[in-house]
A and B are shown apart, each in its own frame.
Chain A
Amino acid sequence: MKDKQFTSRLALENVSHGYGPVAVLNDLSLVVNPGEIVVLVGPSGCGKTTLLNVLSGHIKPVSGSIVREGIIRMVYQQDGLFPWLTVAENISMGLRSTNDAVPGEHELAELIKLIRLEGFENNYPHQLSGGMRQRVELARVLAGDSDILLMDEPFSALDYQARLRMRQELIRLLAERPRTVVFVTHDIEEAAQLADRVLVLSNRPATICRELHITARKPRGLTDPSVIHAMEEILNELGLNSPDNTSNHDGKGV
């Protein structure tokens, strides 16, 4: 299962969406390559989460077409685990399609080892730290035959140091179990450290206003030149890189 062939496809073509009179997505086209980590960054409220919901199929866009092949799993910001289930039971949800009970047990043990939570199998989410909970979420979406992971600011509820650790953790897990990933964040550092490709979204209605390929090897340190360079590019694109420009024109804080 580790070296599975990528059969997934995920693409948007000329997608527009809005809520009543408010246009949120404007003529967006995007092809996510198999095995790629695409990170979407943009100002808050620009429609990142809407875009993710369109990709997952949770929202049907007003116009445009979507190609979606493969099993899609979503990682939420927080509270995505069922609090009445143990760590092992939550992860087992990801194995529900695997009918065979025996490989299921084996796979479960392997996943728990992978996220380094051995000994916590029978703990409940409320007994874990925020970082541990998100690791369980990662194990759950990696379980079974998932192809595509959609992540909606999965680390934003964690403290800064836990966030740094979780980025390395995600890279490590994806090296073991490659998946196609679309990752939404407002954290520019996170984008620069994780992405194969960063898409900078404009203010609402969102369009892709910059596409940035980062080819440096992962894991990337926070102070790697490639990361610093990518952050500069993104900040410039968002108009946040010059001191006199940090308070936005529309008066919104950053």
Chain B
Amino acid sequence: MMKAPVLRFTLPIIVLLGVLLSWLVISYVNLFPAYAFPSPQAVLLSFREEILAGRLVNDIIASLWRVAIGFVLSVLLGVPIGLWLGQHLNARQAFVPLLNFFRFLSPLAWIPFAILWFHIGDKPAIFLIFMATFFPLTLATMVAVATIPSIYFRVAHDYHYHGIELLTKVTFPAVLPQVVTALRVSYGIAWVVIVAAEMVGCQDGLGYGIWEARNGLRLDSAVCYMIVIGLLGMGIDRLLAQLTKLPGIRWGYER
């Protein structure tokens, strides 16, 4: 028997190699026509081509930039609004149906508005990222505040925490672990949405790259963009996951 940490690294690698091998075999026996099912070699070559042409790096930067702006905007607005809603029952009752309505509305439904309002460029994509992440983030923060164990507020009262101090020293740290989880979930949504958002109204970005590949019937290039999108998404999620290890947050994941 191998030890658990060794298995943790070797098992996913075995699965990955298995998938690569199947891909190789399927393209080798020409199960599908080459234009509809690019081989690993073709994808490697197109990686080389995209990197040398500078398109890939440019698209990565463009997409990361749009996601970052849209995401930061929705964090800056959604978390405070969620904190406020969580503390006020009446406000909650007033706004929750509306927030829920928009949460279930696919952000892609906003594409026509995005283009009409913001034309082309970064803005429509940023707007779509914002619309995709603001509602789940606000609702998650609100629910986290509303479900803080009442004993924390009793203790806070015993030790005279009031007003802004109560908010920054009790309410906010109490919900921080759940807010970090909400950040990870909504970042995931943002990364999915950026691809679709860039297929319309943009002249660069990872989504645009896939759209271009489709137009030129270059599925090898599309696969190369897909690999980049998946890897970047995973990588940034790993970064966000590091937040859960911070001392003031970790307690929320240890019970």
Contact between chains at A76 and B155 (CB < 8 Å): yes
Q: Say if the beta carbon of B88 comes within 8 Å of chain A.
A: no
Taking the nearest CB of chain B, how far is it from the CB of A148, in angstroms?
Answer: 12
Which of chain B's residues have a CB closer than 8 A to the CB of A96?
A: 159-160
Contact between chains at B154 and A93 (CB < 8 Å): no
Contact between chains at A84 and B248 (CB < 8 Å): yes
Taking the nearest CB of chain B, how far is it from the CB of A150, in angstroms?
Answer: 10
Contact between chains at B151 and A79 (CB < 8 Å): yes
Which of chain A's residues have a CB closer than 8 A to the CB of B170?
A: 82
Contact between chains at B251 and A83 (CB < 8 Å): yes
Per-residue CB contact flags for chain A residues 81-93 toward chain B (1 = under 8 Å, else 0) read: 0111110000001
Taking the nearest CB of chain B, how far is it from the CB of A42, in angstroms?
Answer: 22
Q: Say if the beta carbon of A179 comes within 8 Å of chain B.
A: no
Q: Tell me whether A82 and B152 are in contact in the complex, defined as CB-CB below 8 angstroms, given that A96-B160, A124-B247, A126-B254 are known contacts.
A: yes
Q: How far apart are the CA atoms of A146 and B128 in the complex, in Å?
A: 55
Please count how many residues in chain A sit with their CB below 8 Å of the partner chain's CB atoms: 18
Contact between chains at A74 and B158 (CB < 8 Å): yes
Contacts from B to A (Cβ < 8 Å) = 149, 151-152, 154-155, 158-160, 170, 173-174, 176, 247-252, 254-255
Q: Tell me whether A58 and B154 are in contact in the complex, defined as CB-CB below 8 angstroms, given that A93-B159, A96-B159 are known contacts.
A: yes
Which of chain A's residues have a CB closer than 8 A to the CB of B248?
A: 84
Q: Tell me whether A80 and B151 are in contact in the complex, defined as CB-CB below 8 angstroms, given that A124-B251, A125-B251 are known contacts.
A: yes
Would you list the 5 A-B pairs with minimal beta carbon distance, nearest first? A83-B251, A84-B173, A126-B254, A93-B159, A84-B248
Per-residue CB contact flags for chain A residues 75-117 toward chain B (1 = under 8 Å, else 0) read: 0100110111110000001101100000000000000000000
Which of chain B's residues have a CB closer than 8 A to the CB of A93?
A: 155, 159
Partner of B174, one of A58, A73, A84: A84
Given contacts A79-B151, A80-B155, A84-B251, 9 further A-B contacts (CB under 8 A): A73-B158, A74-B154, A82-B152, A84-B248, A85-B173, A86-B247, A94-B159, A124-B247, A126-B255
Which of chain B's residues have a CB closer than 8 A to the CB of A94?
A: 159
Q: How far apart are the CA atoms of A208 and B136 in the complex, in Å?
A: 53
Task: Identify 22 residue pairs between A and B in the complex whose beta-carbon atoms are under 8 Å apart, listed by A's number.
Answer: A58-B154, A73-B158, A74-B154, A74-B155, A76-B151, A76-B155, A79-B151, A80-B155, A82-B152, A82-B170, A82-B173, A83-B251, A83-B252, A93-B159, A94-B159, A96-B160, A97-B160, A124-B250, A124-B251, A125-B251, A126-B251, A126-B254
- Binding site secondary structure of chain B: helix
Contact between chains at B160 and A84 (CB < 8 Å): no
Identify the closest chain B residue to A58 (Cβ). Answer: B154
Which of chain B's residues have a CB closer than 8 A to the CB of A76?
A: 151, 154-155
Q: Tell me whether A84 and B176 are in contact in the complex, defined as CB-CB below 8 angstroms, given that A76-B151, A124-B251, A126-B251 are known contacts.
A: yes
Which of chain A's residues have a CB closer than 8 A to the CB of B160?
A: 96-97
Identify the closest chain B residue to A76 (Cβ). Answer: B151
Which of chain A's residues have a CB closer than 8 A to the CB of B158?
A: 73-74
Taking the nearest CB of chain A, how far is it from the CB of B168, in angstroms?
Answer: 12
Q: How far apart are the CA atoms of A240 and B152 in the complex, in Å?
A: 37
Q: How far apart are the CA atoms of A83 and B255 in the complex, in Å?
A: 11
Q: How far apart are the CA atoms of A84 and B178 in the complex, in Å?
A: 13
Taking the nearest CB of chain A, how far is it from the CB of B166, in angstroms?
Answer: 12
Identify the closest chain A residue to B176 (Cβ). Answer: A84
Q: How far apart are the CA atoms of A124 and B253 in the complex, in Å?
A: 13
Partner of B149, one of A73, A79, A86: A79
Q: How far apart are the CA atoms of A94 and B154 in the complex, in Å?
A: 14
Taking the nearest CB of chain A, how far is it from the CB of B103, in angstroms?
Answer: 28
Taking the nearest CB of chain A, how far is it from the CB of B171, in angstroms?
Answer: 11
Taking the nearest CB of chain A, how far is it from the CB of B34, in angstroms?
Answer: 57
Taking the nearest CB of chain B, how far is it from the CB of A3, in angstroms?
Answer: 25
Identify the closest chain B residue to A97 (Cβ). Answer: B160
Taking the nearest CB of chain B, how far is it from the CB of A228, in angstroms?
Answer: 36
Identify the closest chain A residue to B159 (Cβ). Answer: A93
Identify the closest chain B residue to A84 (Cβ). Answer: B173
Identify the closest chain B residue to A56 (Cβ). Answer: B158
Which of chain B's residues have a CB closer than 8 A to the CB of A125?
A: 251
Q: How far apart are the CA atoms of A85 and B248 in the complex, in Å?
A: 7
Which of chain B's residues have a CB closer than 8 A to the CB of A80?
A: 151, 155
